[in-house]
Amino acid sequence: MSLPEYVGNRIRELRKAKGWTQEQLAEAAGLHYSYIGGVERGDRNISLETLEKIINGLQVTAEEIFKFKEDSEYKRALDEHITLISGKSTDTIISLTKISKEVLYAIDKSHKNSE
């Protein structure tokens, strides 16, 4: 698989994790929906400027676009979580992290007590 195909697949994964159509991503990125389709298929050799528009439209970091992993339920769930908190304020993310830690602690404690 070529780099444009890997990047296109990753853009598709992140778009779907947001529950967006190609049209919605195109609107958020200021691009045409048919162009997004070509990018996702790896048919387009996009510029860094266009990639930046897509990254900003998805509200993810550039690093997220290049996280190529095997397809799995775990990966999809993690992508969905990252997508949900992307674009939130730092204070909100810190609050969500504290809540997540407390929930995970309670789950771990519950599992230990049931053993």
| Mean pLDDT value of segment 91-106 | 93
What's the average model confidence in pLDDT over 85-109? 91
Domain covering 3-86 assigned CATH 1.10.260.40 in the classification: yes
Domains in the chain: boundaries: 3-86
CB 47 within 8 A of CB 5: no
pLDDT tens across 8-42, in order? 999 999 999 999 999 999 999 999 999 999 999 99
pLDDT digits (tens, 9 = 90+) for 34-79: 999 999 999 998 999 999 999 999 999 999 898 876 656 777 788 8
Distance CA 68, CA 6 (A): 7
